[in-house]
Structure formats: C-alpha cells, structure tokens
Structure 1
Amino acid sequence: MSSATVVIGNFDGVHPGHREVLAEAKRRQPGLPLIVVTFWPHPVSVLRPEVGPMLLTSLEARIELLTAAGADRVEVIDFTPEFATWSPSDFVERVLLPLDPAVVVVGENFRFGHRAAGNVGTLRELAAGRFEVEGLALVRFGDEETCSTRIREALATGDVAHAAEHLGRPFCFRGVVTHGDRRGRTLGYPTANLPVPDKLACPADGVYAGWVTRRDGLDAHGEALPSGEPAPRWPAAISVGTNPTFDGLSRRVESYVLDRDDLELYDAPISVEFTARIRGQVRFTDIDELIDKMAEDVQECHRLLGVDPRR
C-alpha cells in the first residue's frame, strides 16, 4: 500500500492557491501523511539569474507556512543546474517514487523536467498504474488569478492591501533586529531596524501602518514569556527605504512601535505585518519638517489600526 500523499510546487508565499492544493491533498487521502515537495532556490534564479524573482518568504518561513497549512513533512529539493537537466521521467523516478505516493496533487499550470517539458498530462502518463494525479484550477480573487507574481507586483507598487487580498493574510517581512544609526530615538521615534536582503520581496519605499511581533518567546524587555502566553504583537508605524533625508544607502524596514520607547529588541527575531500604505518616501531638507511629518504619520497609524494614543 502507498504510504503518502504528495504535493509539488514552488509555494513562494504559500498563498490561498497553494493552501488549496494542500487541502485537496488532505481530502483525497485523509489517512495518509502529506509530503510537500518544494524547490530552493527558485528555479528561475538558477536558470536565468538576471531575472530571478524577489521571493515572498525565506525558506524557513515557507516551511513554517506549509506546515501550518497541513504538511506533515516538507521535502526541499536543491534546485541546481544539474537538477535542471533531469527529464520528466527522471523527476518521477528519482524524486516522486522514493516518496511512495498514493496520489500526487499539483496546480493545473505545473511544469517539470528539462526545459519545463512536462505538464500535468505528462505526469499522468508517467504515473500510470503507480499513483494517481490531480491537477487543480488556480484560485481567483475577483477577476484575477492568484499567483506569486501578482503579489510581487502589488508589493512593488506599495499596494499592500491588494497583496494581502491575494495572500489571504497581510504581507509579513521577517528578520533579526540590527543596530542602526539610533537616529529615530533622538527624533522621538525609536525604531527596530531590519535589513532588506537583495532577493527578498518587500513593499515599495514609503510609510505604512502595521504590526510588529517578537518571535523568540521573549517579552518587550527580553524576559521569557509565561508558558502558553502568545507572542507580543504591537501596532507600528513602518518606514521602508534608504532614509534619503540622511543620505542613507542601505534599504531597511524600520518599525516604530506606537507610543513605546521601552522595548529591548536588538538581535531579536521579529515579523513586520503591513496593513496599509500611508505615503511614499520623501527627502526632507528640514529636520523639523521631518519630525512634524512623522507625527502626522503616527497619528494616521493610530487611526488606521484602531489604536487609541496613550496619554
């Protein structure tokens, strides 16, 4: 008897279309473990690095999201130039059959093998008598198909609301808080700073309202949380960009937790959720003008997030 249900895909972002593939796989064989096969790095980044996509999540986050969506095991395939030369038959024999699948579930646009020669029909032919194959239609939002490319396009224009519609949740950027210029504290708005890696997607430069969550089991001051207590999640004003007013060069996500100047977040892993865009990035020539604008941004964040200012 076959021992697993297998789903295959890049699963960048783990959006509703991806989650539906996993849900359908569970419905097909509820008594079997669900194995997700994914690829890292992104195939296009290997085959055509000059046009490789900005990824919506790190590999760690992708695995966490896939597990939360129902995966019992995530099998990460190292996508190398050599792997890219495998034929569709090689892929089935060397990747799928060792997993002993009863059924393999993929999106209807699934392609595999050298030069993407294989499709769902090819997979069915190669699977004949060994496992079943199910190809699922893509999930749609309004009149658009949900896909990772749509989400990247929305983020590139700063439309985090539209990105959230296609993701089924707010876009989330993760990282470890680094020591910055400490300029925010001197201006009255201390920030938790995350560098933006070159190949990781992030909303367009600008100011946003959102939420910050600490992810290491500690509280605002670095003390262990009581057992069972959820991670702290704070409303925040978020700036994305290079800080042009001060001639910054490196792109960062800088989060000011509303009405708090007591947080100890250096070297802490955090996640930053983007809820709404407030404005684009501006280069100010006058520091007082910058401070006045920051105060307006913070006030707007309170309104958008439904948070009353502390008095």
Structure 2
Amino acid sequence: MEIWRSLSEVPGDQKAVVTIGNFDGMHNGHKKVVATCVDRGRRLGVDAVAVTFDPHPIQVHYPEANLQLISPLQDRLDAMAACGLDATLVAHYDASVYTLSPEEFVVEFLVERLGAVEVVVGEDFHFGQGNSGTVDTLRELGRLYQFDVVMVTDIESPEGRRWSSSWVRELLAASDVGGAARVLGRLHRIRGTVEHGYKRGRQLGFPTANLQSDIEGVIPGDGVYAGWLVRSVTGTQSAEFLPAAISVGTNPQFDGKVRTVEAHVLGRADLNLYGEKVAVMFVSLIREMQAFDSLDDLLAQMDEDLRRTAFVLGVGVSGRVDPDSVTAS
C-alpha cells in the first residue's frame, strides 16, 4: 500500500474508489467500510484509496480532552493495508483542512487529486467546516461532480451494539482486553521505548521491560495481564513475539506514584531491551492490581501469575529467574 503524506504526493492522474475517516483503532466497523471500498475498486477496475487524518480532529479542536489514540498511526496504517487498499492519504489535520467547506473539500481532495469515481462512507459520516457536510451533502456533490456514493450501514455486534472506537475505549478502561480484541478484530497493543525503572522486579526474580514516558496507544486499566512483548528483528522486517506477564499500574505494593507498563518475558534473563521501541499486546486479564500483606504473599501471587499467563498463552511454564543471571545493565 502506498502512503501519501500530503496532497502534493498524490499523482493526481488516477481514478479511484475513495473512503474517508479517522479509523481510530481500525475496528470491525471500520474494516467493513474499508473492505467495501476495496471490493468496489476491484469491481470497477480502479484503485481503492483511503483518506485519514493526523492528528485526530478531537486532538486539534478539543485538546483539553487529552484524547489518546487507540492505536499508533503506523498500526492504523498496517491494519488498513491488510484490508487490501492500494493507497492511503494521511492528511495533516490543520486549518487548511478544517476550514474547507464541504464542496471545497470534495473538489480539492476527491475530484482534483484522487479522481474519485465512487466514495464509500459510513452512516454517521460528516465532513467539511464544522462537520456541516453529511452523506446527503456528499450525494448532492457527487451528482454535481460525477461520482457515486455508497453508504455502508452500521454493523452491530451479536449484543446489538454498534462497533465503535468509544466501545473499545470503554472496554480497555474496564481492563476487558478480550472484549476489546473482539471489537477490534485483533489483539490490542501499545508501543513505547523500554526505560530504566527501579529494578525491583529484577531483584525479586521477575525482570521487566518498563514503558512509561512515550507510550503510544490506550493503556488498559490497572491489572496483571497475559500477553506478548514484540520486538523488531534487527536488519529485517520480521518481529519476535515473546510471551509475557504484563503489569499495568502504579505498583501499590511499593507505594508507587507513576503509572507504568511493565512486561516480564517468561523465563528470560538474557534480554537487554533498554532503548528499544517495542510493542506490548494484551491477551487476557489475569487479575486486578492489589497490594499484599507481605513480600512473601506478593511473590506467591506472582508465581501464580506466571503459571496462569503460560496457560493462557499456551507456552511452557517458567518460574522466577536468578537475579544474578540477568544480563541487562
């Protein structure tokens, strides 16, 4: 999939079926819209192209909301590419975009640059200055500028709820990473750079990769999770998936104040991850975060956490590692 970072990078001589949206998280509802765009492009013999925005409009218009994207932009683009799109335009969302009237947006983006012969959108699609444009507006402009409009009706879960980014956020806040994965259609993951911590875990036989200051993606609610730590294989486009017990929270056992994500790779004492950009994928909640009456009680629970994590992930059970064998410095 080609990625264009500005209108000037778009060739401007193609014909395309185009879909437009923020696609935050690229959940099942988004996938239905994008898949329809791809299918229509193949049927018409033209490119299937998406337009998305960075930063998210809410981050621009309502910075006080402190909106954290469900997934980093690169993960969003990877998920869009997996749907079969030929290209995606990542439009920088600023005044040059949000001050355009609906007609100006259609002309500048869809007609003159992308050569839209058809536009695929969801039921709740709005566009143009003040979100004044609707699907009906788009249809009227389509008749004027000679492109068709396909509206994809909202798809619902078996419970009858519409798939949405808001639902994903609710589930993650409630530590229901399994539920979030069902709405997303894949495991939820975050990214960040491994930093030095207090090294308490190492001293107890549970060395961890600590993420804190530059985390991208919505962090689930506090708790201990089974999941995967994913690191890039140097010099390749491959990735290494390492089974991990993941702690999210402020470490109440030691009166911690800063919320961190700490991933202990099962049975490994030979990893030196400091400074690496890694991903953490969440599979299932093992237990809620809590403080224990004694260090022995904490260690007993952590041993159980490792057993349950291994069972959930389908890997061999590993116990604590020898603190003296930890190679990271």
Q: Does 1:132 align with 2:148?
A: yes
CA distance in 2 between partners of 1:243 and 1:38 (Å): 38
Please list the CA deviations of residues 235-279 of structure 1 after superposition, one character each: whole Å capped at 9, or x if unmatched: 111001122323333322111111111122222222211111112
Question: Which moved further from structure 2: 185-194 or 175-184?
Answer: 175-184
Secondary structure in 2 matching 1:99: coil
- Where structure 2 has 5 or more consecutive residues not aligned to the other structure, the ranges are 1-12, 320-329
Q: Does 1:308 align with 2:316?
A: yes
Asked whether the equivalents of residues 191 and 215 of structure 2 are also in contact (C-alpha less than 8 Å), the reply is no
> What code does the residue aligned with 2:228 have?
W
> What code does the residue aligned with 2:22 have?
N
Counterpart position of 2:85: 71
CA distance in 2 between partners of 1:179 and 1:33 (Å): 46
Asked whether the equivalents of residues 207 and 239 of structure 1 are also in contact (C-alpha less than 8 Å), the reply is yes
CA distance in 2 between partners of 1:64 and 1:193 (Å): 25
Question: Which moved further from structure 2: 76-85 or 181-190?
Answer: 76-85
Counterpart position of 1:277: 285
Counterpart position of 1:221: none
Counterpart position of 2:257: 249
CA distance in 2 between partners of 1:241 and 1:34 (Å): 42
Counterpart position of 1:166: 183
Asked whether the equivalents of residues 51 and 88 of structure 2 are also in contact (C-alpha less than 8 Å), the reply is yes
Change (3 A) 1:81 1:241: farther
Secondary structure in 2 matching 1:54: coil
> What code does the residue aligned with 1:186 have?
Q
CA distance in 2 between partners of 1:16 and 1:45 (Å): 23
Q: Does 1:86 align with 2:94?
A: no
Normalising by structure 2, we get a TM-score of 0.85
Which of 263, 288, 293 is the equivalent residue of 2:271?
A: 263
Q: Does 1:289 align with 2:304?
A: no
* Residue correspondence of structure 1 range 1-311 to structure 2 within 5 A: 3-30=15-42, 31-81=45-95, 83-97=97-111, 98-128=113-143, 129-142=145-158, 143-195=160-212, 197=214, 200-215=217-232, 217-218=233-234, 230-284=238-292, 286-310=294-318
Normalising by structure 1, we get a TM-score of 0.90
Aligned length: 302
Could you tell me how far 1:82 is from its partner in structure 2?
5.2
Asked whether the equivalents of residues 306 and 317 of structure 2 are also in contact (C-alpha less than 8 Å), the reply is no
CA distance in 2 between partners of 1:118 and 1:145 (Å): 22
Please list the CA deviations of residues 69-94 of structure 1 after superposition, one character each: whole Å capped at 9, or x if unmatched: 22222211222245323211121122
Could you tell me how far 1:181 is from its partner in structure 2?
2.0
Secondary structure in 1 matching 2:239: coil
- Where structure 1 has 5 or more consecutive residues not aligned to the other structure, the ranges are 219-223
Asked whether the equivalents of residues 191 and 256 of structure 1 are also in contact (C-alpha less than 8 Å), the reply is yes
Q: RMSD over aligned Cα, in angstroms?
A: 2.1
CA distance in 1 between partners of 2:185 and 2:163 (Å): 10
Asked whether the equivalents of residues 141 and 165 of structure 1 are also in contact (C-alpha less than 8 Å), the reply is no
CA distance in 1 between partners of 2:241 and 2:194 (Å): 15
Could you tell me how far 1:66 is from its partner in structure 2?
1.4
| Percent identity of equivalent pairs | 42
Question: Which moved further from structure 2: 300-309 or 152-161?
Answer: 300-309
